[in-house]
Structure 1
Amino acid sequence: MATNFYNGKRLSFDGQLCTVRYFGEVQGTKGEWLGVEWDDPTRGKHSGENGGIRYFECVSKLPTAASFVRPTRRPDPPRSFVEALRHKYASEDFEDPDVKIVYIRKDKNQAPSTHHDKPVRISGKEVEEVGFDKIRKQLADLHELKIVLLDGLCVSRPIATLRERFLNAGSPAEPAALTDIKDTCPKIVELDLSRNLFEEWREIVSICEQLDRLKSLRVDGNRFRDVSLSEAERTHCATAFANIKTLKMEDTLLSWHEIADLATLFPYLNSFVASSNALGKLENGFLPSTITDLTLEENGFHALSDLLPLTKLPNLQRLILKNNKIAEIVTPGSETPVFPSMLSEVNLSYNEIASWAFIDRLEDVFPGLTAIRVAHNPLYQSLYAADGRALSVRDGYMLTLARLGRLKNINYSPITPKERLDAEIYYLSQIGKELSANPQSKEAAIIASHRRYAELCEEYGDPNVHRSTTLINPNSLAARLIKFSFRLSESAERVVKEDVPRSFTAEIPTGFTVYSALGIVGKKFGLPPMKLRLVWETGDWVPAGWDALAVGTAWDSESSEEEDEKGLGVERIPREVELVAGTRTVGTWVDGVEANVRVELK
């Protein structure tokens, strides 16, 4: 039995795929064992070590990827490509293992037989007679298939076995002109061969060489034992893969060198996916220059410098790096990557970006960047203004687009001219607040940390800087209080009683909701709280077309671009922000530790 098992052999037990990594005895037990690495690394019990003895190594780094199973355990039977195709697309009874289909030819003139009233049994299995008319229809349907999904069907195509079959059938020893797939389903355009029992890349080539219309190939979750090819085989791949534009190789756990080498076998590849391959720093491997769309999600990148070989892709337009561990632009001792200007869209969501310095340098790395996704990074979960006030996630996105001047799309939302105007003015006001909260000795360093400061000042004018003679520690109790000066508007003055003051001052914690602030104001002025509007007079001046309430409204604007452009004139008006009634805290509305608020009637 030992000859049936070898390192790298693919097996399936009860639908769970695994790879043989060891065959032999295990100390403290009787008999022989198979050491297997499960494709699902959470299914096992150890990492190839038992009782302090290392029996084998796993490709997966998780500590529960391996198990020992008895070699007598019966694996799931493998299928050929055509068997799997018929199993999924042409068999009506494939879910019943006790039914055997028998193909018979029927005479059209023969009278209906009565023996069909009782099932026929052969070797204990029920037999279903299927006429050739029905079979011809099923085969015709297979012949027309364009999208074929054979994932998880225990498909294998061992080349040595194919040669042996052809020899036994009296065919040439070298099955260079196999037509089993082409004869059955020649029109396939999209093919998914994921999570099967393939061991050699030659098996994939042997399938694709018969499908001259194939444009998209998916081989996710396969664990190839051997991806090496001779020079003659590599030359043949240029023909076998000639029409394939999209290739997906997720969760193969191949090295970057192996992945890149296989990708070069596709001469006209445009879209390539190599996610979930435990990749780290990319070295010793270059992808084909034809690639325009590249996805490397869920790997182990820590810095953009880990991707340096990708800067050699002259036609790359879209790069997806979602769900990695990227926190830096460059690691110590590494070269700063600079991608071609063709690359305009980058997805960095679900990484570990935690600083504005990273955001500011993105245009250095991606000079053609116009669309970005940065959602779900630590930076946006704990944002604070210079005065210690907590900022919302939306504030963070506004500051992001303001810092990246060429950006046209953020988090899948197009940026209108009006939104850019609002964001840049808001960003400039935040710089002003930061300058106000720090002594003049730090002004040069603060300005240097905002790369667009001079450009924005030239566009909108310098921000107002009001330095207090006594600076407040942002972590102190005083920093958690806002000194509000409330005054009644002219319309509100006319409805209050004569003995009621027209203004008052109150220190309110930043964590109080706007509802709470309305309650304080309503009680002081003797007015119904929900009949009042609180309007913060910021003291800033903005272009006449700027939306005074933009910071607190929804991200997408409904106004047309023509209307947006009308607001770009030189006339300036006071910037005012309404504290909209709700559970949002006053600290997320107001910048600084003091605020003048006008109280109006609704």
Structure 2
Amino acid sequence: MGVDHTEPGVPEDAVGRRVSCEGERATVQYVGLVPPTAGLWLGVEWDNPERGKHDGSHEGVQYFTCRHPKGGSFVRPGKVSFGVDYLSAVEQQYIYDTEKNYMEWEGRSKKLSFEILTSVLLCGCEVNGPGPDGEIRNTTPLVRWLDLSKTLVSCWEDVSAITRQLNQLEGLQLSTNRLRLPSEPSAHCEAFCRLKTLALNSCDLTWPQILECAPMWPQLEVLSAEENNITELQRPEGVLQSLKTLSLCGNPLHQDSVLSVAALPRLEELNLSKTGLSDLRFDDAAPGSLTAMFPALKNLYLDHNNITEWRVVDELGKLPSLVKFSCLGNQLVSDDGNPRTATELLIAKLGRLRFLNRCEIHPDERRGAELDYLKMFGEEWLKAGGASQPSSQFTCRHPRYLSLVEKYGAPEEGELKKPESFALKNQLLKLVFVFPDDVERKPIEKKLPASMLVQKVKGLLYRLLKVPAVDLKLTYSSPKMEGTEFEIDNDLKTLQFYSIEDGDQVLVRWS
């Protein structure tokens, strides 16, 4: 089962090398014979385990191992590509590929033309290393952004051999690669000394592996490590201290380890979307006080997680610098089930917020949300002791309430939100019905009672449009939150239930 290096196209250091085969990427784990068949085989572990057939064994003999029981295959050398060097890939991408011919030659030499490149995009190309020593420095000296996503580089030494010749490099994209860790990370600092932005998405990495590599990136400010195998975070000791942006979206995080990155002194943006997060607590600060954790954090993304408790939002109110927050795709529901009320609660509970769910919060919108919040829980506040001394239980549930009382004054008895009054039931709303899927149909303006059931609204629309009510789908939008649509999904609720206001638009679609 010895290795036959006389096979053309198989390098002597083939084991551990990255290869492509029929559009898929794999790592060579074995080179040799596989009896009873004749000839040389490559044992490969596929990046996509569904492409494989076994775990590296054949007829009871284990030739190599795979992490996935079906992640391996044996392939003939002639079916795989070990790739090309950096300069060959640049030539293929920027000269010979006529569909992507970005260069205008006008008689210039190849070298001169490459010298003007500030970005080199080789995503999906079969780059396997630097090529002739020193030629990258002579050929593409001005490159500041390099995309080596989904290439055939096998280890950090390969990457370092390329980047140490790019003295201007600030941004590096290495997503969808499988890189062996360096034996001496600090030896590669020079190769990444100017690097500010690094993408390592879908690289099958853990957080300890990232920390092991981090000494190579002394000036790093932006790190994207989405869709990896990051479960438990550890505190970065002496590394990543310049980091301003960190994205861990799509990793199955243990939520009790999230605070391990809370001490990063310059971290301004953190993306923890799609991580399964359901809780976040800053126990160093009492309700209504500021935490010492995440001191510089301005932007936080928690979209598509499992957050259902409003106390998580109250905890986020402890962050001293938070101005942009997004939590789309969670189950934060208000008592009335109305999404607009939930939005108002988020605005009122997070007093420093300027953007919510990627929409700017206008001053009038904040004022309205905070006044509504005062009225909404005013009765509970009075029962808890009111202005004299509200109970600690109330303060824990509504840590911002006292500051709102100081801002606007205590809510009056008559202002407290109660079941809708006779006057409210007879309030008329001026609504504009628009038809996004029927551009030729003009908007229709109607005045309708706030107490009108959605079912009755659909009946009115049936008479106007001759479209069966069962086929109608309604949403509404408000000038206060431009670009956002709210569903009207219960025919037995009133317009008032959905907090539809005078001047709102109702968008009408049908199947």
TM-score, normalised with respect to structure 2? 0.71
**Alpha-carbon offset, residue 192 of structure 1:** 0.7
Output one character per residue of 1:170-201: Cα deviation in whole Å (capped at 9) or x when no partner. xxxxxxxx311112111111111111111221
TM-superposed deviation, 1:457: 3.4
**Separation in 2 of the partners of 1:342 and 1:42?**
43
Instruction: Indicate whether 1:75 and 2:80 are aligned.
Output: yes
Change (3 A) 1:37 1:582: closer
2:391 matches 1:412? no
Q: Which residue of 1 aligns with 2:404?
A: 456
- 1:251-291 CA-partner distances (Å, limit 9, x unpaired): 22122222123232122222121112120111264442111
Matches within 5 A, 1:156-555: 156-157=128-129, 178-229=133-184, 234-235=186-187, 237-283=188-234, 285-286=236-237, 287-303=239-255, 305-329=256-280, 338-364=292-318, 366-379=319-332, 383-385=333-335, 389-392=336-339, 394-432=340-378, 445=393, 448-458=396-406, 459-462=408-411, 464=413, 512-513=454-455, 515=457, 553-555=478-480
Q: Is the 8 A contact 2:338 2:497 kept in 1?
A: no
Q: Residues 15 and 76 of structure 1 are in contact (CA less than 8 Å); yes or no, is this contact kept in structure 2?
A: no
Q: Is the partner of 2:262 in helix, strand or coil?
A: helix
Taking structure 1 as reference, are residues 275 and 47 closer, same or farther at Cα in structure 2, changes over 3 Å only?
farther
Percent identity, aligned pairs only, is 26
Q: Determine whether 1:586 maps to 2:493.
A: yes
- Structure 1 distance, partners of 2:129, 2:397, is 59
Letter in 2 for 1:243: R
Distance 1:489 1:16 in 2: 64
Distance change in 2, residues 1:425/1:483 (3 Å): closer
- For residues 31 and 403 of structure 2, the distance between their equivalents in structure 1, rounded to whole angstroms, comes to 68
Q: Quickly say closer, same or farther: Cα 1:360–1:11, change in 2 above 3 A.
A: same
Report SS of the residue matched to 1:586.
coil
1:546-583 residue CA offsets vs partner (Å, 9 max, x unmatched): xxxxx97344379xxxxxxxxxxxxxxxxxxxxxx998
Counterpart Cα distance in 2 of 1:251 and 1:206 = 22
From the CA coordinates, give the structure whose radius of gyration is larger: 1
Letter in 1 for 2:18: R
Partner residue, 1:564: none
* Coordinate RMSD, CA, aligned: 4.6
Secondary structure in 1 matching 2:120: strand
Q: Is the 8 A contact 2:82 2:128 kept in 1?
A: no
Indicate the SS of the match to 1:204: helix
Cα distance between partner residues in 1 of 2:480 and 2:54: 49
TM-fit CA distance, 1:400: 0.7
- Which residue in 1 is equivalent to 2:481? 556
Name which structure has the greater RCO, CA cutoff 8 Å, separation 6+.
1
Contact 1:227/1:258 (<8 A) preserved = no
Which SS does the other structure have where 1:315 is aligned?
coil
Cα 1:138–1:17 shift into 2, 3 Å: same
| Secondary structure at the counterpart of residue 216 of structure 2 | coil
**Gapped regions of structure 2 (runs ≥ 5):** 5-11, 284-289, 429-450, 465-475, 500-511
| Contact kept in structure 1, 2:231 and 2:252, CA below 8 Å | yes
Q: 1:489 to 1:256 in 2, by over 3 A?
A: closer
Looking at structure 2, the residues matched to 148 and 81 of structure 1 have their Cα atoms a distance apart, in angstroms, of 10
- Cα distance, 1:26 vs. partner? 8.3
Structure 2 residue 79 is the aligned partner of structure 1 residue 38: no
Q: Structure 1's 37 and 191: CA in aligned 2 closer, same or farther, altered over 3 A?
A: same
Cα deviation code 1:372-406 (max 9, x no counterpart): 11111122xxx241xxx3212x3222211111122
Give the Cα separation in 1 of the matches to 2:459 and 2:380. 26
Tell me the TM-score normalized by structure 1: 0.61
Q: Distance in 1 between matches of 2:330 and 2:61?
A: 41
Shift of the alpha carbon at 1:36? 3.0
CA offset at residue 585 of structure 1?
Answer: 5.9
Match 1:143 to one of 99, 115, 126? 115
Assess if the C-alpha contact under 8 Å between 2:18 and 2:82 holds in 1: no
CA drift at 1:8: 2.9
Q: How many residues align?
A: 437
Q: Which residue of 1 aligns with 2:435?
A: none
Counterpart selection for 2:89 from 84, 102, 112: 84
- Conservation of the 8 A alpha-carbon contact between 2:195 and 2:220: yes
- Per-residue CA deviation, residues 127-184 of structure 1 (Å, 9 max, x unaligned), is xxxxxx98743332112111101122111128xxx7xx8xxxxxxxxxxxx3111121
Q: C-alpha distance in 2, partners of 1:36/1:141?
A: 38
